[in-house]
């Protein structure tokens, strides 16, 4: 009887054993089978190279280069003495560096751990040669982004950095994986989806250490599409050279179709820094530089008062509304009075009697104070918007800002007060609440150059084999006669005797344009010049902006002249 | 050598089942270790065969000599075995580490594997001699001491699994021997209440193993890893298995200790539910036969030995297989006749010999 207890208990345990085997192996087979496959099957990704960025003449601007890394597999290391000697000789690593690298490698003993990133090709060759018989030491190649012209065009191209954890969560479905580089600004960001290569992969069976046992299949990677810009390399380089170490921006566009030929913002940065190893200090330096703000693209994200270049808008508003005509004259005595307030012209002794053409030519403030007062804030606001201020140009670059084209409504909402007439006077000469980007000024100038047709600025011409269909130019609601009068004024600015923009004059090029010198509360005036050439059939439109650059008629007009010269040399004019 | 009357009761089926289990074990050891690329003469397969030939010599001794002779010298064997346990402990201390075995020539010898048998013999001797008075409380004292001394030393080895195995052996022999069930229940209760104290003496890794039994996911890359991988192996074997030499968990090295304690995971993965349950049923045949021998032996000594061996076999199988599917904590008990290892094979074969010894001689008393 007592024996039954023992046999009963043991029989019960055996039945329990069989039952749980049945449960695990038969009922939960699919669950465990899947786990087992996940255990042993891995996908080894093969990078699909990122597409190149080329200029309009298929000159390579941004490409990929092979970079060499030295790596060690800790588990395979044998003779330490030779390892130290070879690493010391070829890579100039000190014993301490090597010990540090070994400690790092020890943490993942079965995987190759990079100990020296991006070493030169020569060093890599030397390492291969003298270290080929050291087990566990190897050189690995990787594809690295290469911005050939370094700082030049930095804002246009943008830069890359590794995808963050948060982004990964959002973008996993699109095939991104940890360690992927994605575009952070410029074309790299805007066209990231096109540039990005599609990673292929080998499906391999691995053991518990992740060591490849056999290959089960390969999916070839496909490289990203090459992106052809509307940029002309030589004009871009010329712009960067002409800007030099000044703060500011220069943009060159074909006014007929909106193709951007050059887009420069200074100070710039070298995008290569973001793909190079051990540059975290430099990166931080770039990101934290609050004075130079090298990472911000002044051409499309910088907001400034336009100053006198805005007089084109005031002129158009006056002419279109018939408040002034071609012959309307205002006399400049050096200042303008509105009640008790006195508004100065930049020329103390005054310009004397001026019509619209002279007003533009000499950039006479008093003429435009009078025009502005006659026209009123609502019409100025209306025409500012017609010329594209206060809204995005829609350029195919990220982080464009729309600025402010103020009006009564705007002031009531954002400043909680009524519009004062004195503000209209300032508005008329491009001061006050008005804030614009260089690309907006350029776009306004292009519509004047293009006889009232406004274009859509863009930097990409072709993606892979597909040409990007440019938006058709749109006719502005402005009469031909108005444009004609303004153009005549702009012609005089550059070509007339004592015109404010005469420094933009280049031999063999008939250009027109407008200067601007914008007061701002932060210091020295901002300097603008925007213009186009040739006058009769404009093919090139430029804007040059210098932050705290003094007078628009000086350096900016000179730089624009330099750009016209380069464009002529390149056969654009 | 044998009298005819003895041979008549020699259980051929039993030996056949033992051989069958051993052969399944050999095939599995081969599959579990083939990735190591050892020369055949040094392979685990060959070494296990060598161990088996040695074990056969021992089983012959265990069969030829009447089990009475073993009962006679049970205390000598027991004391000697305790000394060996202490010797290994001191040796391990001298080497600044845990060590439950020492080597004789090329072979490692693990005294804790044999203490199970020594305890069966010494308890059977004590109980057998007092078959009419076992119900007395006073007769509980010596068995408790006989259990207690090796229990502590085995635990210190450290070999938690073997120490725990001693407990069912102890109780089963006392029950068969006629101890009062009230005392038995009292001891069980006392033992359970001592668990917290016992816990205190466990090493950290042993505690960890017991904790991951409750939830393997608390340490999936450490102590829980083995359980998780083993369950995956067994479960993914399905009904018919992935086939011999084709288990991915096994061949791709996801299973630690797969030729020793976790060999059943390989059986489960490569031979499926059909193979795994067949192995369990084969063991059940052995265990049932052990209890049949115990029941049909009128001699109390033989009854105790057969019961002890039956319980020992059964518990080893239940704990070992149980731990591969997460039913039991990982305590480090080999699967008898299947796991690679000389000491385990030898002690199991001696146990089988003793059992058959009892079976052969049951009608002569």
Q: What is the pLDDT of residues B29-77, one digit of tens each?
A: 999 988 777 788 888 999 999 999 999 999 988 888 999 999 999 999 9
Q: What is the mean pLDDT of residues B21-28?
A: 96
Task: Using a CB–CB cutoff of 8 Å, tell me whether B185 touches chain A.
Answer: no
pLDDT at A529 (0 to 100): 96
Give the percent of chain B with pLDDT over 90: 56
Handedness of CA B212, A14, B350, B152 (dihedral sign): positive
Q: What is the DSSP string of B163-208?
A: HHHHHHHHHHHHHHHT--HHHHHHHHHHHHHTHHHHHHTS-HHHHH
- Pair B285, B350 in one domain: yes
Sign of CA dihedral A71, A75, A79, A80: positive
* B221 in contact with chain A, both atoms CB, cutoff 8 A: no
| Pair A41, A119: CB distance under 8 Å | no
The pLDDT of residue B213:
74
Strand order in the sheet with A260-266: A260-266, A248-253, A540-546, A523-533, A512-520
| Per-residue DSSP letter, A396 | S
Do B133 and B158 lie in one domain? The reply is yes
| Neighbour count for residue A450 (Cβ, 10 Å) | 22
> Of A185, A192, A189, A167, which is closest to residue A177 (Cα–Cα)?
A167
> Which run of H or of E encompasses A115?
strand A113-119
β-pairing, A352-354 with A330-332?
antiparallel
**Residue in B232, B273, B310 nearest the CB of A22:** B273
The answer to whether the beta carbons of residues A253 and A442 sit under 8 Å apart is: yes
The pLDDT of B229-256, averaged and rounded, is: 88
Q: Do A29 and B236 make contact, defined as CB atoms within 8 angstroms? A: yes
| pLDDT higher than threshold 50 for residue A394 | yes
Interchain contact B293–A (C-beta under 8 A) = no
How does strand A474-475 pair with strand A260-266? unpaired
Instruction: Report residue A222's pLDDT band, with 50, 70 and 90 as the boundaries.
Output: confident
CA pair distance A265, A157, nearest whole angstrom: 12
Asked whether the CA dihedral A72, A73, A76, A80 is positive or negative, the reply is positive
> A164 or A109: whose pLDDT is higher?
A164
A212 to chain B: nearest residue by CA? B252
The answer to whether residues B128 and B272 belong to one domain is no
Residue B20 falls inside a structural domain: yes
| Cβ–Cβ < 8 Å for B13, B35 | no
Q: Which residue has the higher pLDDT, B239 or A131?
A: B239
CA-wise closest residue to A370 among A336, A344, A346, A347? A336
Whether residue B150 sits in one domain with residue B85: yes
Instruction: Answer yes or no: do B194 and B226 share one domain.
Output: no
- Averaged pLDDT, A18-25: 95
Strand pairing class (A227-229; A53-54): parallel
Q: For residues A349 and A207, which has the higher predicted lDDT (pLDDT)?
A: A349
Mean pLDDT of the A327-340 span: 91
B238 closest CB neighbour out of A29, A205, A209: A29
Mean pLDDT (chain B, rounded): 87
From first CA to last CA, the distance across chain A in angstroms is: 115
Residue A436's pLDDT is what? 97
Is the pLDDT assigned to residue B365 strictly greater than 60? no
DSSP A256: T
Domain assignment present for residue B87? The answer is yes
Neighbours of A126 (CB within 10 A): 17
B96, pLDDT greater than 50: no
User: Pick from A14, A207, A209: which is nearest to B284 by CB?
Assistant: A14
Any residues with CB less than 8 A from the CB of A211 and at least 6 apart, and which? A110
How much of chain A is in helix, strand and coil states, percent to nearest 5? 40, 25, 35
**Which residues in chain A touch residue B327, judged by CB atoms under 8 angstroms apart?**
16-17, 20
pLDDT, residue A2, reads 65
- CA distances (Å), A20 to each of A26, B161, B240, B295, in order? 10, 21, 16, 30
Give the angle subtended at the CA of B59 by the CAs of B58 and B64, to the nearest 5°.
100
Which residue in B339, B346, B337 sits closest to B16, CA to CA? B337
Q: Same domain for B313 and B186?
A: no
Quick one: pLDDT at residue B227? 84
Which residue of A3, A10, A39 is in closest CB contact with B287? A10
Q: How many domains in chain B?
A: 2
What does the pLDDT average to over A446-456?
94
For A54, B18, B244, the CA distances from B31, given in Å and listed in that order, are 58, 20, 7
Q: Is the pLDDT of residue A494 over 70?
A: yes
- B312-328 pLDDT, tens per residue? 999 999 999 999 998 98
For chain A, what is the mean pLDDT?
89
Q: Test B236 with A36 for CB contact under 8 angstroms.
A: yes
Q: Which residues of A touch B (CB under 8 A)?
A: 2-3, 5-7, 10, 13-14, 16-18, 20-22, 24-26, 28-29, 31-33, 35-37, 39-40, 205-209, 213
Confidence class for position B106, pLDDT limits 50, 70, 90 = low
Rounded CA-CA distance B231/B225 in Å is 10
Predicted pLDDT at B97: 46
The reply to whether B250 and B357 lie within a common domain is yes
Task: Measure the CA–CA gap between B219 and B208, rounded to whole angstroms.
Answer: 9
* Nearest-Cα residue of chain B relative to residue A21: B273
Diameter over CA atoms, chain A: 131
In A, which residues are within 8 Å of B237 by CB distance?
25
Kindly state the DSSP code that residue A116 receives in the 8-state scheme: E
Res A180 pLDDT > 70: yes
Q: Which residues pair with A527 in a beta bridge?
A: A517, A546
Measured at the CA of B84, the angle between CA B83 and CA B89, to 5 degrees, comes to: 95
pLDDT of residue A111: 63
Q: With an 8 Å Cβ cutoff, are B318 and A25 in contact?
A: no
Same domain, B351 and B232: yes
For A530-539, the pLDDT digits (tens) are 999 999 999 9
Residue predicted with more confidence, B314 or A48: B314
* Contacts for A498 with CB less than 8 Å, ≥ 6 apart: A361, A362
Of A13, A17, A40, the CB nearest to B252: A40
| Residue B68 falls inside a structural domain | no
pLDDT at A367: 95
Using CB atoms, pick whichever of B234, B248, B310 lies closest to residue A24: B234
Q: What are phi and psi of A395, to 5 degrees?
A: -60, 145
Of A480-494, B18-32, B246-260, the least confident: B246-260
DSSP letter (8 states) at residue B2 = -
Calpha distance B212→B328 (Å, rounded): 10
Which residue of chain B has the CA closest to A20? B325
Please say which residue of B177, B202, B227 terminates a domain.
B202
* Segment among A273-277, B295-299, B336-340 with least mean pLDDT: A273-277
**DSSP 8-class letter at A535:** S
Q: Which range among A160-174, A340-354, B36-50, B179-193 shows the weakest confidence by mean pLDDT?
A: A160-174
Are B326 and B255 contained in the same domain?
yes
Mark which of B155, B173, B202 sits at the end of a domain: B202
What's the pLDDT score for residue B9? 66
Chain B partners within 8 Å of A19 (Cβ)? none
Residue A25 to residue B276, Cβ atoms within 8 A = yes
In angstroms, the Cα distances linking B331 to A464, B88, B161, B195, B249 are: 63, 20, 5, 16, 21
Q: Two tokens at A260? A: 């951007």
Within 8 A of B233 by CB-CB distance, chain A residues are: 36
- Between strands A460-463 and A466-467, the pairing is antiparallel
Query: Pick from A3, A207, A208: which is nearest to B295 by CB?
Result: A3
B181 and B97 in one domain?
yes
For the residues A153-181, what does the mean pLDDT come to? 82
Strands B102-104 and B107-109: antiparallel
Q: Is A354 helix (H, G, I), strand (E, B) or coil?
A: strand
pLDDT at A533: 93
Local confidence band at A141 (pLDDT 50, 70, 90 cut-offs): confident
> Do A18 and B236 lie within an 8 Å CB cutoff?
no
* pLDDT tier, A357 (very low <50, low <70, confident <90, very high otherwise): very high
Give SS3 for A67: strand
Identify the closest residue of chain A to B184 by CA–CA distance. Answer: A2
Q: Is residue B214's pLDDT more than 80?
A: no
Which 3 state secondary structure label does DSSP give A183? Answer: strand
| H-run or E-run covering A139 | strand A137-147
Inter-chain contact B232–A39, Cβ cutoff 8 Å? yes
Lowest mean pLDDT across A132-141, A245-254, A286-295:
A132-141
Identify the residue with better confidence: B168 or A203: B168
Q: How many of the other CB atoms lie within 10 Å of CB of B198?
A: 14
**What is the spatial distance between Cα B178 and Cα B127, in angstroms, rounded to a whole number?**
8
Instruction: Report helix angle B342-361 to B300-324, nearest 10.
Output: 140
Q: Which helix (H) or strand (E) holds A467?
A: strand A466-467
Domains and CATH numbers, chain A: 45-124+140-229 (3.90.1310.10), 233-279+296-569 (3.40.710.10)
Which among B202, B224, B257 is the end of a domain? Answer: B202
Cα B148-B149-B151 angle, rounded to 5 deg: 65
- Residue A256: CB atoms within 10 A of its CB come to 17
- Of chain A, the percentage scoring pLDDT greater than 70 comes to 95
Residues of A in contact with B181 (CB under 8 A): 2
Rg from Cα positions in chain A = 33
| Alpha carbon distance B62, B66 (integer Å) | 8
Continuous segment of H or E residues that includes residue A83 = helix A80-91
pTM of the model: 0.61
Average pLDDT over residues A81-88: 84
In a shared domain, residues B279 and B262: yes
Domain of residue B290: give its range. Answer: 1-63+203-365
State mean pLDDT over A225-235.
95
Chain B closest CA to A2's CA: distance in Å?
Answer: 7
Rounded CA gap, B254 and B262, in Å? Answer: 11
Asked if A14's CB is within 8 angstroms of B248's CB, the reply is no
Mean pLDDT of A208-215: 65
Task: List pLDDT tens digits, range A499-514.
Answer: 899 999 998 999 999 9
Distances in Å between the Cα of A402 and the Cα atoms of A406, A473, A517, A530, B229 are 12, 20, 21, 19, 59
> Do strands A453-454 and A212-219 pair parallel, antiparallel, or not at all (unpaired)?
unpaired
The C-alpha of B132 sits at a distance from chain A's nearest C-alpha, in angstroms, of 15
Question: Is residue B248 less than 8 Å (CB to CB) from chain A?
Answer: yes
Answer whether A3 sits within 8 Å of B176, measured CB to CB: yes
Q: Are B253 and A208 an interchain contact pair (Cβ–Cβ within 8 Å)?
A: yes
Question: What's the pLDDT score for residue A192?
Answer: 92
- Do A205 and B248 count as a contact with CB atoms less than 8 A apart? yes
With beta carbons less than 8 A apart as the criterion, state whether B17 and B286 touch.
yes
pLDDT surpasses 90 at B209 = no
CB atoms within 10 A of CB A209: 12
Q: Do A310 and A543 contact (CB within 8 A), yes or no?
A: no
Three-state SS annotation for A5-21 = HHHHHHHHHHHHHHHHH
Q: What Cα–Cα distance (Å) separates residue B198 from each residue in A169, B207, B326?
A: 48, 11, 23
pLDDT of residue B268: 95
Residues B218 and B358 in one domain: yes
The mean per-residue pLDDT over the stretch A428-441 comes to 96
Is A112 a residue whose pLDDT tops 90? no
Q: In whole angstroms, what is the distance from residue A491 CA to residue A499 CA?
A: 9
Of the listed ranges A42-51, A438-447, B225-234, the least confidently predicted one is A42-51
């Amino acid at each position: 009887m007592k024996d039954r207890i023992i046999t009963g208990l043991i029989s019960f345990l055996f039945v329990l054993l069989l039952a749980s085997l049945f449960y695990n192996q038969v009922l939960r087979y699919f669950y465990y089978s899947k786990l087992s496959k996940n255990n042993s099957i891995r996908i080894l990704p093969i990078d699909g190279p990122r597409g190149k960025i080329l200029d309009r003449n298929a000159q390579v601007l941004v490409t990929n280069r092979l970079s060499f890394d030295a790596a060690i597999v800790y588990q395979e290391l044998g003779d330490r003495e030779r390892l130290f000697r070879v690493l010391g000789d070829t890579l100039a690593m000190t014993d301490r560096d090597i010990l540090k690298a070994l400690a790092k490698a020890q943490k993942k003993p079965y995987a190759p751990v990079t100990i020296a990133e991006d070493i030169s090709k020569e060093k890599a060759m030397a390492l291969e040669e003298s270290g080929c018989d050291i087990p566990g030491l190897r050189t690995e190649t990787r594809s690295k982004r290469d911005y050939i012209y370094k700082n030049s065009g930095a804002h246009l191209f943008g830069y890359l950095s590794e995808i963050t954890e948060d982004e990964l969560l959002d973008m996993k479905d699109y095939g991104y994986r940890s360690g992927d580089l994605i575009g952070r600004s410029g074309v790299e960001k805007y066209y990231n989806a096109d540039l990005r290569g599609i990673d292929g992969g080998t499906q391999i069976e691995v053991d518990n250490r992740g060591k490849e046992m056999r290959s089960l299949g390969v999916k070839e990677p496909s490289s990203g599409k090459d992106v052809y810009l509307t940029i002309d390399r030589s004009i871009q380089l010329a712009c960067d050279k002409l800007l030099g170490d000044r703060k500011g921006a220069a943009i060159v566009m074909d006014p007929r179709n909106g193709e951007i030929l050059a887009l420069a913002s200074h100070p710039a940065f070298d995008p290569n820094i973001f793909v190079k190893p051990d540059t975290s200090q430099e990166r931080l330096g770039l990101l934290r530089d609050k004075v130079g703000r090298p990472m911000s693209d002044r051409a499309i994200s910088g907001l400034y008062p336009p100053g006198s270049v805005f007089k084109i808008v005031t002129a158009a508003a006056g002419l279109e509304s018939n408040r002034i005509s071609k012959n309307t004259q205002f006399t400049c005595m050096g200042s303008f009075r509105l009640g008790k307030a006195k508004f100065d012209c930049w020329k103390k002794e005054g310009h004397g009697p001026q019509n619209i053409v002279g007003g533009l030519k000499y950039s006479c403030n008093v003429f435009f104070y009078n025009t502005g007062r006659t026209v009123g804030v609502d019409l100025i606001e209306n025409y500012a918007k017609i010329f594209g201020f206060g809204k995005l140009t829609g350029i195919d670059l990220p982080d464009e800002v729309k600025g402010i084209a103020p009006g009564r409504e705007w002031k009531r909402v954002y400043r909680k007060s009524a519009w004062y007439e004195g503000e209209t006077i300032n508005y008329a000469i491009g001061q006050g609440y008005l804030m614009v980007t260089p690309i907006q000024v350029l776009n306004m100038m292009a519509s004047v150059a293009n006889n009232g047709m406004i274009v859509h600025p863009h930097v990409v011409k072709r993606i892979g084999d597909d040409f990007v269909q440019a938006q058709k130019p749109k006719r502005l609601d402005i009469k031909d006669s108005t444009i004609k009068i303004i153009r005549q004024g702009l012609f005089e600015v550059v070509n007339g005797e004592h015109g404010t923009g005469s420094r933009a004059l280049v031999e063999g090029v008939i250009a027109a344009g407008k200067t601007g010198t914008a007061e701002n509360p932060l210091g020295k005036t901002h300097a603008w010049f925007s213009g186009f050439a040739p006058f009769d059939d404009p093919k090139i439109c430029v804007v040059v902006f210098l932050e705290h650059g003094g007078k628009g008629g000086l350096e900016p007009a000179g730089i624009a002249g330099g750009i016209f010269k380069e464009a002529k040399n390149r056969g654009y004019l | 050598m044998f009298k005819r009357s003895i041979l008549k009761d020699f259980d051929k089926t039993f030996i056949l089942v033992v051989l069958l289990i051993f052969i399944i074990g050999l095939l599995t050891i081969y599959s579990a270790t083939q990735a190591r690329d050892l020369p055949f003469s040094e392979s685990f397969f060959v070494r296990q065969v060598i161990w088996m030939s040695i074990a056969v010599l021992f089983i012959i001794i265990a069969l030829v000599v009447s089990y009475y002779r073993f009962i006679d010298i049970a205390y000598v064997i027991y004391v000697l075995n305790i000394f060996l346990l202490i010797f290994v402990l001191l040796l391990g201390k001298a080497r600044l580490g845990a060590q439950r075995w020492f080597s004789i020539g090329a072979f490692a010898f693990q005294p804790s594997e044999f203490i199970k048998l020594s305890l069966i013999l010494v308890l059977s001797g004590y109980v057998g001699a007092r078959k009419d008075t076992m119900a007395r409380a006073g007769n509980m004292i010596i068995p408790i001491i006989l259990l207690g001394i090796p229990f502590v030393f085995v635990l210190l080895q450290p070999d938690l699994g073997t120490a725990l195995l001693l407990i069912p052996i102890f109780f089963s022999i006392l029950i068969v021997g006629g101890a009062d069930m009230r005392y038995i229940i009292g001891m069980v209760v006392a033992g359970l209440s001592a668990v917290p104290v016992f816990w205190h003496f466990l090493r950290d890794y042993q505690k960890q193993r017991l904790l991951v039994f409750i939830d393997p996911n608390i340490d999936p890359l450490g102590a829980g890893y083995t359980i998780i991988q083993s369950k995956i192996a067994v479960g993914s074997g399905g009904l018919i298995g992935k086939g011999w030499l084709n288990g991915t968990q096994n061949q791709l090295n996801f299973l630690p200790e797969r030729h020793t304690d976790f060999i059943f995971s390989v059986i489960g993965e490569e031979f499926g539910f059909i193979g795994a349950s067949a192995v369990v049923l084969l063991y059940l045949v052995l265990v049932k036969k052990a209890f049949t021998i115990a029941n049909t032996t009128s001699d109390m000594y033989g009854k105790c030995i057969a019961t002890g061996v039956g319980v020992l076999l059964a518990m080893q199988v239940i704990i070992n297989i149980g731990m591969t599917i997460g039913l039991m904590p990982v305590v480090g008990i080999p699967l008898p006749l299947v796991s690679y290892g000389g000491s385990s094979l030898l002690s199991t074969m001696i146990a089988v010999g003793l059992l058959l010894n009892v079976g052969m001689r049951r009608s002569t008393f």
